[in-house]
């Protein structure tokens, strides 16, 4: 049997500006996104019949029914290429907290699309962009899997050619947040966008640039869930060069000058807050954070 494994990296919103709202209710965003070497894993292999299983520390928070975004990704790709699709066994190893502002579900769907594309030998020039967007606004950027700026509802993507590698710590209090409620609490939906991006190939230049940006969802999220500010401040107290909420929360990230600094900060946080999810890693620079293995 042919088996393919795809890494599904955490998607980190280094900033997130809300710049408008469409008539259909979707918010317009401008966001700089990076991908960490912390994430989930999707394994696919040929099988006599379809099968889906869950594993990992956060598997208990997901359901294995047809509403799971990984299965929707499988079915959408199968519908688009019925002559290529065959029964498949899929295993999702869920290492990231669910609904936590780091694109776990979207990244899982993107990893599934990449893996099945390889398993089913769908040509490289076959366009799956529409499939990705139909699955969710974050899925196209997760398909790219490298530093980028996304605009619109997330479908307009520009890859960033040179971004410094970023040692990072992710922390989440394991408290659920409601994204619709956070958006409903925005004081303004027509905020300024991201201006011209300077050279950010060096860590210090990137941090200086990011400090001038923001996450417009952080204030309303903290008003609803004050623990988010506790997490952000705890990261700042460990010496993070920048600490900010990712996406709509509740995950916050801290950026550090070196991997050693990040690992030290994560250890201190795990000791101080043993009930939190804490992980140290690195946001990959201009290289992809994703990769596949075949057996």
Residue tagged active-site, from 11, 40, 43, 261:
11
> Is-catalytic flag, 138?
yes
Helical axes 104-119 vs 69-80, angle rounded to 10°: 40
Query: What is the crossing angle of helices 259-272 and 227-237, to 10°?
Result: 130
Distance from C-alpha of 103 to C-alpha of 83, rounded to nearest angstrom:
31
> What secondary structure letter does DSSP report for 61?
G
Distances (CA, A) of 45 to 76, 77, 108, 153: 18, 15, 16, 33
Residue of 40, 108, 138, 261 marked catalytic? 138
- List all residues 6 or more positions away from 237 whose beta carbon is below 8 Å from its beta carbon: none
Q: For residue 23, what are the contacts with CB-CB under 8 A and spacing of at least 6?
A: none
**R_g (Cα) of the chain, nearest Å:** 19
Residues marked active site are found at 11, 138
């Amino acid at each position: 049997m042919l088996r393919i494994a795809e890494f599904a990296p955490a998607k980190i919103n280094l900033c997130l500006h809300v710049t408008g709202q469409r008539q259909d209710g979707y918010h317009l965003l401008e966001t700089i996104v990076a991908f960490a070497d912390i994430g989930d894993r999707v394994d696919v292999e040929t099988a006599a019949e379809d099968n889906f299983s869950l594993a990992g520390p956060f598997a208990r928070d997901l359901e294995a029914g047809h509403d799971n975004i990984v299965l929707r990704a499988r079915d959408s790709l199968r519908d688009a290429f019925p002559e290529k699709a065959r029964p498949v066994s899929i295993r999702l190893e869920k290492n990231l907290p669910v609904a936590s502002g780091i694109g776990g579900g979207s990244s899982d769907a993107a990893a599934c699309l990449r893996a099945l594309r390889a398993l089913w030998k769908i040509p490289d020039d076959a366009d799956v962009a529409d499939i990705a967007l139909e699955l969710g606004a974050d899925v196209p950027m997760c398909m790219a899997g490298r530093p980028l700026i996304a605009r619109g509802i997330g479908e307009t993507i520009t890859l960033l050619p040179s971004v410094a590698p970023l040692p990072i710590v992710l922390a989440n209090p394991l408290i659920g947040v409601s994204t619709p409620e956070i958006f409903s609490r925005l004081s303004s939906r027509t905020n300024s966008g991201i201006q011209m991006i300077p050279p950010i190939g060096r860590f210090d230049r990137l941090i200086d640039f990011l400090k001038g940006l923001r996450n417009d969802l952080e204030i309303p999220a903290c008003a609803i869930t004050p623990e988010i500010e506790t997490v952000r401040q705890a990261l700042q107290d460990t010496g993070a060069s920048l600490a900010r909420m990712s996406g709509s929360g509740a995950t916050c990230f801290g950026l550090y000058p070196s991997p050693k600094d990040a690992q030290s900060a994560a250890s201190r946080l795990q000791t101080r807050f043993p009930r939190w999810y804490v992980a140290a890693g690195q946001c990959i620079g201009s290289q992809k954070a994703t990769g596949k293995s075949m057996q």
